Structure 1
């Protein structure tokens, strides 16, 4: 059976601990970009402070650039794309640093969650396949989307040098106060470094939570199959009648086994629900932040792709547009899957062999069904439910802002 959650779940993870975690890829990627310390090294603290300092500098740089480019809608929206993207990454890191103990606890609780039904997965190859499939899906999704983000850099970073080498333009934010004449090479390198750090960090945080939700949905799926498989063996056993065997005793034994299995399912169900609530508390503020910034980024990126007269800006905007939309969709898709699998518990309970079961089994099953009928919805900031319908509404909001910008631009 599963072990209880230890009191020291909030203790910092070490490098060895991360290597044994099912979230190894996500944790170490966050470590690489300065968000998740895996040791007490002062050098890492300096690296962490440097990353935050770059984020602050970008906020100042973007503000100055907006001041000097205000009135030029094309240039202003391009600054907004960069500013919103980097601000999102910086804000996520600040929130992550503030709640490090909470995320250490989340990583340890994931291991506990996976141990809740490990005994049953070991005994049933079909359940083990569901778990392995979810782990492979999460790993492939993490690797694929991080490389998708890396594919944006060859489009954004060298484009000013390729298309306008004589104008000495910077890749993201232009220095209108000196026409990019002072510290041009240093500014170019810093903007590339900051954009790489902010986008990788932002996507890595998202993928951490999405991975956890994928694993949680798989655990709920495993639970539904366990509930469906509950059946009485009275008919099979009762047909074998010997001279010195009392059939009633055999039936009682089978009923006891069936009831005990149901109690184990109820216990697993309660643990998964508690974990989902803990996950929601951990990710709630970051998800709401991502929704807010993604709506703004989609709006200004779509505007830039539609109205810009610079073909290089159009190319950059079109190639980048799927990234913020994908960040919203990942959260909504993963959370929707958790909700769907939770709702399937009621149907699974109704589909088990409860007709031949004992009265106490039926009573316990009714309690399970009543609890499962209460929707298990993951929210952003405990206000905004995450689902596929939410994704559509957020995209519609982005389009509404884009249409408003378009009207302003035509005046």
Structure 2
């Protein structure tokens, strides 16, 4: 079964577009200076020119805000459903795996002591098999488990921290 990732990638693309526009605006604001060509004009003209550039930046910022609001309006329900379903899938999967571990205790708890030798051997075999919990492997590479989920969350947090530190260094220069 293939998973439809169109909505996820489309919304991520729109958010990326918003981030890119914010970077463009940041560049414009950082370079909102009087350049050497403008020095030959009067002080009043220079100030008017800077105000015009600032108004253009403010207009750009308003367009970014409106674009982000449109994205929010269009995709809020979709994002809620996507994140909700992803969380539900993770919870159901992990609960199922933990329940599979409880089979050993359930088999041991049955009335096996007074049964025949064949029944006892079958219970032992069942318990040995149930000792190995059921596993789901994504793309035949990634084990879906609580440990994998925690590793993914930690990696995502580390990546966000790394990106923010690069942004802080970039802002400082």
Task: Please give the TM-score of this superposition, normalised by the length of structure 1.
Answer: 0.27
Are residues 408 and 364 of structure 1, via their aligned partners in 2, closer, same or farther at CA, if it must alter by over 3 Å?
same
Are residues 385 and 63 of structure 1, via their aligned partners in 2, closer, same or farther at CA, if it must alter by over 3 Å?
closer
Give the alignment partner of residue 79 of structure 2, picking from 178, 196, 199.
199
Give the alignment partner of residue 94 of structure 2, picking from 331, 336, 357.
336
Which runs of structure 2 are paired with 1:80-91 in the superposition (5 Å)?
Answer: none
**Could you report, residue by residue, the CA deviation over 1:93-138 in whole angstroms, capped at 9, with x for unpaired residues?**
xxxxxxxxxxxxxxxxxxxxxxxxxxxxxxxxxxxxxxxxxxxxxx
**1:357 partner SS:** coil
Q: Is the 8 A contact 2:94 2:145 kept in 1?
A: yes
Question: What stretches of structure 1 of length at least 5 have no aligned partner?
Answer: 1-34, 36-51, 74-166, 168-174, 211-330
Larger RCO: Structure 1 or Structure 2 (Cα < 8 Å, ≥ 6 residues apart)?
1
Alignment match, 2:141: 383
**In angstroms, what is the RMSD of aligned CA positions?**
3.9
Which runs of structure 2 are paired with 1:72-83 in the superposition (5 Å)?
Answer: 72=26
Q: Is the 8 A contact 2:138 2:144 kept in 1?
A: yes
Alignment match, 2:70: 190
**1:70 partner SS:** helix
Q: Is the aligned partner of 1:357 residue 2:106?
A: no
**Could you report, residue by residue, the CA deviation over 1:210-244 in whole angstroms, capped at 9, with x for unpaired residues?**
4xxxxxxxxxxxxxxxxxxxxxxxxxxxxxxxxxx
Deviation at 1:403, TM superposition (A): 2.7
Deviation at 1:385, TM superposition (A): 2.5
Q: Distance in 2 between matches of 1:410 and 1:389?
A: 31
Q: Distance in 2 between matches of 1:58 and 1:344?
A: 40
Which runs of structure 2 are paired with 1:194-233 in the superposition (5 Å)?
Answer: 194-206=74-86, 210=89
**1:385 partner SS:** strand
Deviation at 1:342, TM superposition (A): 1.0
Are residues 349 and 335 of structure 1, via their aligned partners in 2, closer, same or farther at CA, if it must alter by over 3 Å?
same
Alignment match, 2:38: none
Give the alignment partner of residue 23 of structure 2, picking from 70, 79, 100.
70
Q: Is the 8 A contact 2:11 2:75 kept in 1?
A: no
Give the alignment partner of residue 395 of structure 1, picking from 137, 153, 163.
153
Give the alignment partner of residue 63 of structure 2, picking from 167, 177, 180.
180
Q: Distance in 2 between matches of 1:386 and 1:342?
A: 14
Structure 1 residue runs of 4+, over 6 Å off? none
Q: Is the 8 A contact 2:18 2:68 kept in 1?
A: no
Q: Distance in 2 between matches of 1:56 and 1:193?
A: 14
Equivalent residues, number: 133
Q: Is the 8 A contact 1:339 1:375 kept in 2?
A: yes
Are residues 188 and 387 of structure 1, via their aligned partners in 2, closer, same or farther at CA, if it must alter by over 3 Å?
closer
Question: What stretches of structure 2 of length at least 5 have no aligned partner?
Answer: 28-54
Q: Is the aligned partner of 1:373 residue 2:131?
A: yes
**Larger CA Rg, structure 1 vs 2:** 2
**Could you report, residue by residue, the CA deviation over 1:356-382 in whole angstroms, capped at 9, with x for unpaired residues?**
111221232233223212320233334
Task: Please give the TM-score of this superposition, normalised by the length of structure 2.
Answer: 0.55
Deviation at 1:396, TM superposition (A): 1.8
Q: Is the 8 A contact 1:339 1:376 kept in 2?
A: yes
Deviation at 1:65, TM superposition (A): 3.8
